[in-house]
């Protein structure tokens, strides 16, 4: 089956999400336990890819997409608490430990990658003292590893799976994404060092009114008492309101709340304090696939893919490739063709079929009119065909970690 035979471009009369009455969007930030798992496991995959290429000249079978970050145990105190039990990071699934009689130090790569990630992204987590590591990665099955021995211009899909991507982001989605990145920026942490990396932003839009609920861990060593906590919380809230209002994107009204579980008068039990800046130090565990989708958001109004992209191999696992490629194609269509209000791209694979020949690539367009849709339909098909014909370039970007997945 050729590439041109499995592309469908469909006109949609749906109302673009931006124009719908209700929208709900969430982002789990850098220090959220689920995001930690996604980010580390995907970085392990990237490091394994580089090791395979260096040692045997090809990316070998691996899927590091099963992981659990087990919460530790702490005692938070005003002025600085203590670690009673470290967090535990469990690595799972499958990898190639030996190829062409060359051994690959998979466990060492996984642990060292995790330690380096913690060092680069957390100010208060010591990866040697505050985290323990358990590697449960095992060799892959014969059927799946054989895909890598068959050769060909592109590999065969190692799963029957579907993915969906879209463009553009709505104003609500952009606001959520930008706010979390701002709260975890170096500038914000310099001015508010007492705020931790564990940030979650939830947005609810009704027509042109936006309500934001932010959860942000505070680091207890910087907080002297309950009064001081609420003073710093109020200052941080004021700052984020200023940030959002400067980028209001035409909302009629924006309201923001921070750490809404807080209750004055209950001491450390009534405020959101952590020792290390993440709830994983003593409260919440994390898991791959429970966090953001590959565009960094959890958009409840959008169609969703059930696959967790983080940690999957980037050369045959369509659960990763198609997950990111659908978003990339949607963005190209939206950016390159005027008059497109909204675009959705679906891709379906069949296990054993070359990844550049999906069962279907379906593009759903919301345009200014049906006559305009007919005028641009061929150009949309050309974009999809080009992206599939050049899928190896896209794959190599994934191999080298050039595309963030959370």
Domains along the chain with CATH numbers: 22-27+171-287 (3.30.300.340)
How many residues make up the chain in this entry?
406
Binned at pLDDT 50, 70 and 90, residue 1 comes out as: very low
Question: pTM for this structure?
Answer: 0.94
pLDDT for 4 beyond 80: no
The candidate with the shortest Cα–Cα distance to 277, out of 194, 337, 359, is: 194
pLDDT in the model for residue 99: 87
pLDDT tens by residue, 285-307: 999 999 999 999 999 999 998 88
Query: How far, in Å, CA of 86 to CA of 89, rounded?
Result: 10
Binned at pLDDT 50, 70 and 90, residue 147 comes out as: low
What is the mean predicted confidence (pLDDT) over 196-218?
98
pLDDT in the model for residue 150: 58
Q: Which two tokens stand for residue 382?
A: 């050309």
Contacting residues for 350 by C-beta, under 8 A, at least 6 apart: 157, 160, 358, 359
Which three-class secondary structure string do you get for the chain? Answer: CCHHHHEEEEECCCCCHHHCCEEEEEEECCCCHHHHHHHHHHHHHHHHHHHHHHHHCCCCCEEEEEEEEECCEEECCCCCCEEEECEEEEEEEEECCEECCEECCHHHHHHHHHHHHHHHHCCCCCCCCCEEEEEEEEECCHHHHHHHHCCCCCCECCCCCEEEEEECCCHHHHHHHHHHHHHCCHHHHHHCCCEEEEEEEEEEEECCEEEEEEEEEEEHHHCCCHHHHHHHHHHHHHHHHHHHHHCCCCCCEEEEEECCCCCCCCHHHHCCEECCCCHHHCCCCEECCCCCCCCCCEECCCCCCCCCCCCECCCCCHHHHHHHHHHHHHHHHHHHCCCEEEEEEEEECCCCCECCCCCEEEEEEEECCHHHHHHHHHHHHHHHHHHHHCHHHHHHHHHCCCCCCC
Neighbouring C-alpha atoms within 13 Å toward the C-beta of 243: 20
The candidate with the shortest Cα–Cα distance to 403, out of 327, 337, 336, is: 327
The candidate with the shortest Cα–Cα distance to 44, out of 61, 65, 60, 30, is: 65
pLDDT tens by residue, 97-125: 998 899 999 999 999 999 999 999 999 99
Query: How far, in Å, CA of 253 to CA of 184, rounded?
Result: 24
pLDDT tens by residue, 338-381: 999 999 999 999 999 999 999 999 999 999 999 999 999 999 99
Neighbouring C-alpha atoms within 13 Å toward the C-beta of 405: 37
């Amino acid at each position: 089956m050729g590439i041109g035979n499995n592309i469908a471009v469909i006109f949609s009369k749906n109302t673009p999400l931006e124009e719908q009455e209700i929208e709900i969007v969430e982002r789990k930030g850098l220090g959220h336990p689920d995001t930690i798992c996604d980010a580390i496991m995907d970085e392990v995959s990237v490091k394994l890819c580089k090791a395979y290429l260096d040692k045997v000249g090809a990316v070998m079978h691996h899927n590091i997409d099963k992981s659990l970050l087990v919460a530790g145990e702490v005692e938070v105190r005003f002025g600085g608490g203590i670690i009673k039990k470290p967090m535990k990071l469990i690595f799972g699934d499958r990898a190639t430990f030996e190829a062409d009689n060359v051994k690959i130090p998979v466990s060492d790569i996984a642990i060292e990658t995790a330690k380096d990630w913690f060092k680069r992204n957390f100010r208060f987590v010591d990866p040697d003292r505050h985290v323990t590591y358990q590697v449960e990665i095992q060799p892959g099955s014969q059927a799946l590893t054989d895909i890598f021995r068959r050769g060909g211009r592109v590999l065969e899909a190692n799963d029957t799976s579907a993915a969906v991507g879209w463009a553009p982001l709505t104003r609500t989605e952009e606001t959520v994404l930008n706010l979390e990145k701002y709260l975890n920026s170096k500038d914000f942490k310099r001015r508010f060092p007492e705020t931790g990396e564990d940030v979650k932003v939830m947005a609810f839009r009704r027509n042109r009114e936006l309500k934001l609920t932010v959860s942000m861990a505070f680091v207890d060593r910087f907080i002297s008492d309950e009064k001081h906590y609420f003073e710093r919380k109020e200052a941080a809230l004021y700052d984020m309101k200023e940030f959002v209002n400067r980028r209001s994107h035409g909302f009629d009204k924006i309201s923001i709340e921070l750490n809404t579980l807080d209750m004055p008068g209950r001491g450390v039990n009534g405020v959101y304090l952590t020792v290390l800046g993440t709830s994983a130090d003593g409260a919440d565990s994390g898991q791959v696939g429970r966090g953001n989708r590959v565009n960094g958001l959890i958009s409840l109004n959008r169609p969703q893919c059930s696959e967790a992209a983080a940690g999957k191999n980037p050369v045959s696992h369509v659960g990763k490739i198609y997950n990111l490629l659908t978003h990339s194609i949607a963005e190209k269509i939206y950016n390159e063709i005027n008059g497109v209000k909204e675009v959705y791209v679906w891709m379906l694979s069949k296990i054993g079929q070359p990844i550049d020949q999906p069962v279907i690539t379906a593009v759903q367009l919301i345009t200014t009119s049906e006559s305009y849709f007919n005028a641009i339909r061929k150009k949309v098909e050309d974009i999809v065909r080009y992206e599939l014909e050049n899928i190896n370039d896209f794959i190599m970007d994934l191999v080298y970690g050039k595309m963030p997945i959370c």
